[in-house]
Structure 1
Amino acid sequence: MAEFLTADNLPEGFEYPAEFIRVAEDLELTNLEPWWIFDGDQLRIRATGLRDRYPERKLVPFARRQDNDDLACWDLDRGDVAVIHDFADAGREQRERFEDFNAWLRQAVEDLIEFGDM
């Protein structure tokens, strides 16, 4: 069973969206190479690091890209999904935005198809 952030480690009022739980826990669809939905210690370490590196942002990470430092996160200030380039200078980390988890998932599947052709 996946080990996501607990209520103690999540921003107040945030709950994982039902569509994320369905994909990650119910279907166990966590390997979308090059994207990986991550959990456990890796997730806790990256979530803590994001808070330290980008204190002005309210981000909850849920996936990492294996071929670079991109992370998919819920952006609680904007109410969407942000792909950020972790470890970039603050203000230069933003890469992409998606309306919601399902929009990000569609792109992740496209990335999976493209990554397999490389």
Structure 2
Amino acid sequence: MSCYIYSLDELPKGFQFPRTFLEIINQEVILDLDPWWFLCEFEKFAKYWLLEMKNQYPTRKLIPFAKLSYSDDIVCFDGDDTSGDPKVFYVHAFASAGWEDRGYMDNFTEWLKIARLESARYKAEQANDE
């Protein structure tokens, strides 16, 4: 499966995606982290959320990469970081500016660890409900 990656024109100058993120999204089959899903799986959604973050929070450089399926929570890379290992911000979309921040992880690897745990717990709960 091919994933959509934002073009250099869409990204803040000097921003680099984390190597681990690129490795995951370039796999034949994208990692299933339900209830999280990677925006790059759908170009239209990726572009929509990038524009939405720019419009809603113009003072922040947020690069959205995954969304929680049952809410407006999005995770975004810190577009101000040019290290190649940016922080990951939890953003509650559509909240008023200043109220959108739901915390952060130090980097993608740390977010991925938590997302895997959340996914396993979510899937177990879904299985118990059936």
How do 1:59-98 residues align onto structure 2 when only pairs under 5 Å count? 59-77=62-80, 79-98=86-105
Once the two structures are superposed, what CA deviation does each residue of 1:74-116 show, in whole Å capped at 9, x if it has no partner?
A: 1234641101101111100111210100000001101101111
Q: Which runs of 5+ in 1 are unaligned?
A: none
User: TM-score when scaled to structure 2?
Assistant: 0.85
Distance 1:31 1:38 in 2: 12
Is contact 1:30–1:38 with CA below 8 Å preserved after alignment?
no
Is contact 2:11–2:79 with CA below 8 Å preserved after alignment?
no
Larger RCO: 1 or 2 (CA < 8 Å, sep 6+): 2
User: TM-score when scaled to structure 1?
Assistant: 0.93
What's the CA shift for 1:15?
A: 1.9
State the match for 1:14 in structure 2.
Answer: 15
Structure whose residues are more often strand by fraction: 1
State the match for 1:107 in structure 2.
Answer: 114
Is contact 2:65–2:74 with CA below 8 Å preserved after alignment?
yes
Q: Which runs of 4+ in 1 moved over 4 A?
A: none
Q: Which runs of 5+ in 2 are unaligned?
A: 126-130
Across the aligned residues of Structure 1 and Structure 2, the Cα RMSD in angstroms comes to 1.4
Once the two structures are superposed, what CA deviation does each residue of 1:45-99 show, in whole Å capped at 9, x if it has no partner?
A: 1100100000011100100000101111012346411011011111001112101
